[in-house]
Structure 1
Amino acid sequence: MTRFLLKRFALMALLLFGVSVLIFLLFALMPGDYFSSNRQLTPQRKAELRALNGLDQPLWLRYLGWLWNMLRGEFGYSLAYSRPVTELIGPLLFNSFLVAVAAFILTWLISIVSGVLSATKQYSWFDRLVTIWLFASLSVPSFFVGLLMIKFFAVDLHWLPTGGMLNTGSTSTGIEQVIEIGWHMVLPVAILTFLGVGSLTRYFRSGMLDVLRADFIRTARAKGLAERSVVFGHALRNALLPAITLLGFELPGLFAGAIITEQVFNWPGIGRMQLESVQTRDYAVLMTITMLLAFLTIVGSFIADVLYAVADPRVRLVEARQR
């Protein structure tokens, strides 16, 4: 297992290096920059500012400087906000993680339960409701559902806040502030969960249906095992294997979905910051956020590989034979 982990770590490092090269070239070769969009600057002043920020240097030299600073935890300087990128997106990143992690946990819990029950009760009324739910979550745009939920729960019923992270003029601290933030998280988390549950439940349902028809399930039932033990002890563990491979795309997928969700609910996260940086061509912020999403994808794939090896003994057997 140690050799397996070391190989995956080495592969992660190579992938991150390759992704960093692609991200830097993507933004460095894009036409225009922050200064070119400012019509108040003269061409001479634009050239001076580009030279001051090192934008007139060769690409390879700019990349090495960016990579070295990134390894030291410095992600550049935001020209639009006149602040270091780390100070700018640090608090916003925490806010986005609150919503993304809560939605991630709820998505997997609901998907596992609904997928298992739908497969064990195939063609029942519950299975039909789950199928309708799947098509609805895959078909309806997130911004449309978000606006409907704001209209119904916030404007009409006054049960939940319309947006933001805290109430206007709030001075709450301690546990009161935590409760207030949690209350504001309900709608954004509900939207991300609704969108994520659809596709993931489909994988769990189809995986459970295939496993429940396998020979070893019939053997387990013939031995007299309880149905709950057969479903959760034998079938679910094998049905989890295809879904584990999706883990590498879940976290970055939640952050990508949060870009629209944060805009709809006025949630102060990196999604809104990314949209604003696109408009102002603040490439330092865009490169940092894109690199973060790539890092989450690679780390998620690494976690999926490890979980796959833990869940499937055949992977460990193949790894042992290669030694």
Structure 2
Amino acid sequence: MLKYTLKRFGQMILMMFLLSILVFFLFALMPGDFFSGNRKLTPTRLAELRALYGLDKPPLQRYFIWLGNVLHGDFGWSLKYNEPVTDLLKTYMFNSFIVALAAMVIAWTIAVIVGVYSATHQYAFVDKLVTVIVFASLSFPSFFIGLLAIKFFAVDLKWLPVGGMIDTGSNSTGLAYVLEVGRHMILPVLILAFFSAGGLTRYFRSGMLDVLRLDFVRCARARGIKEHAVVYRHALRNALLPAITLLGFELPGLFSGAIITEQIFGWPGIGPIQLDALNAHDYEVLMTCTLLLSFLTILGNFLADVMYSVADPRVRLAQKAEA
């Protein structure tokens, strides 16, 4: 187990190094930069600014300078926002994180409960209703459902705020601030959870149906074990094993943010920052976001492989045979 973990960790480090090369040169070779789009700059001033920020150096030299700074925790300077990239992303990334985490917990809870119930009541009315709702969540665009929710819950019923993170002009602190932020989170969290739960529900329903047809489930029923115990103690445990791999891919989503949803609800997350950086050719911000998401994707796969080997004895036997 330890040998396999160290091997996977070494592969993760190598993959991150190769990804850093790919990410940097993809952005370095893109046409234009932050200054080239400013028509007010004279050619002389444009050359001075490019030299000041090191944009006139060869891409290979710039890569090693950038890599050395990254290894020291310096991800560059945002020309769009005129502040260090680390300071810029710190707050906005946390805002995206709390919304994505809440949405993920709700979506996975709903998906497990509804998926198991739908699988154990196959072709019943509830199963058909769940199928309709799931396909609706996969068919409708997020901006349409988001705007519809704002129109109904915020404008017509006035139950929830239209958008933002806090009320306009609010000076609340402590518990009042937490409750205010929580009230503004309700709509974006529910919209994200709705779209995430749809595909997850079908995934858990399909996995549960496959497990319920296996021989060990039939044997458990033949021994007279109660149906509740068969479903939740035997079948569900095995049906959730593949979800460990799926959970590893959820890690980048906790930090990447939902660009469209955050734009609709005016939530100050990482999504609008990425859009602004893209429009302004602020490549330092874009490279940091891309590199961070790449790292989280690799880390999620690494953790999923380790957890899968811990949860499933068959995987441990396969790893020993491979070693």
The residue number in structure 1 matching 2:3 is 3
In structure 1, C-alpha distance between the alignment counterparts of 2:12 and 2:230, rounded to whole Å: 37
Unpaired runs of 5+ residues, structure 2, are: none
Question: Could you say what secondary structure the match of 2:258 adopts?
Answer: helix
In structure 2, C-alpha distance between the alignment counterparts of 1:300 and 1:246, rounded to whole Å: 9
Deviates more, 1:2-11 or 1:210-219: 2-11
Unpaired runs of 5+ residues, structure 1, are: none
Which residue identity lines up with residue 259 of structure 2 in the other structure?
Answer: I
How high is the sequence identity, in percent, across the aligned residues? 64
Which residue identity lines up with residue 158 of structure 1 in the other structure?
Answer: K
Contact 1:203 1:242 in 2 (8 A): no
Given the two structures, how large is their TM-score scaled by the length of structure 1?
0.97
The residue number in structure 2 matching 1:303 is 303
The alpha carbon displacement at 1:25 in A equals: 0.9
The alpha carbon displacement at 1:166 in A equals: 0.4
The alpha carbon displacement at 1:214 in A equals: 0.6
Contact 2:76 2:284 in 1 (8 A): yes
Matches within 5 A, 1:150-165: 150-165=150-165
The alpha carbon displacement at 1:137 in A equals: 0.8
Which residue identity lines up with residue 32 of structure 1 in the other structure?
Answer: G
Deviation per residue, 1:99-134 (Å, 9 max, x gap): 111111111111111111110010111111110111
Matches within 5 A, 1:242-253: 242-253=242-253
Matches within 5 A, 1:27-66: 27-66=27-66
The residue number in structure 2 matching 1:83 is 83
In structure 2, C-alpha distance between the alignment counterparts of 1:10 and 1:238, rounded to whole Å: 30
Contact 1:237 1:311 in 2 (8 A): no
Question: Could you say what secondary structure the match of 1:171 adopts?
Answer: coil
In structure 2, C-alpha distance between the alignment counterparts of 1:56 and 1:258, rounded to whole Å: 35
In structure 2, C-alpha distance between the alignment counterparts of 1:199 and 1:250, rounded to whole Å: 13
The alpha carbon displacement at 1:84 in A equals: 0.6
Contact 1:255 1:271 in 2 (8 A): no
The residue number in structure 1 matching 2:281 is 281
In structure 2, C-alpha distance between the alignment counterparts of 1:4 and 1:107, rounded to whole Å: 32
Change (3 A) 1:257 1:273: closer
Q: How many residues align?
A: 323
The residue number in structure 2 matching 1:199 is 199
The residue number in structure 1 matching 2:241 is 241
The residue number in structure 2 matching 1:126 is 126
Contact 2:217 2:235 in 1 (8 A): yes
Contact 2:96 2:254 in 1 (8 A): no
In structure 2, C-alpha distance between the alignment counterparts of 1:252 and 1:129, rounded to whole Å: 31
Contact 1:259 1:271 in 2 (8 A): yes
Contact 2:145 2:191 in 1 (8 A): yes
Deviation per residue, 1:195-227 (Å, 9 max, x gap): 111111111111110110111100111112121
Which residue identity lines up with residue 150 of structure 1 in the other structure?
Answer: I
Question: Could you say what secondary structure the match of 1:225 adopts?
Answer: coil
The residue number in structure 2 matching 1:169 is 169
Question: Could you say what secondary structure the match of 2:101 adopts?
Answer: helix
Question: Could you say what secondary structure the match of 1:246 adopts?
Answer: helix
Deviates more, 1:79-88 or 1:300-309: 300-309
In structure 1, C-alpha distance between the alignment counterparts of 2:257 and 2:84, rounded to whole Å: 26
The alpha carbon displacement at 1:26 in A equals: 0.9
| Aligned-pair Cα RMSD in Å | 1.3
The residue number in structure 2 matching 1:211 is 211
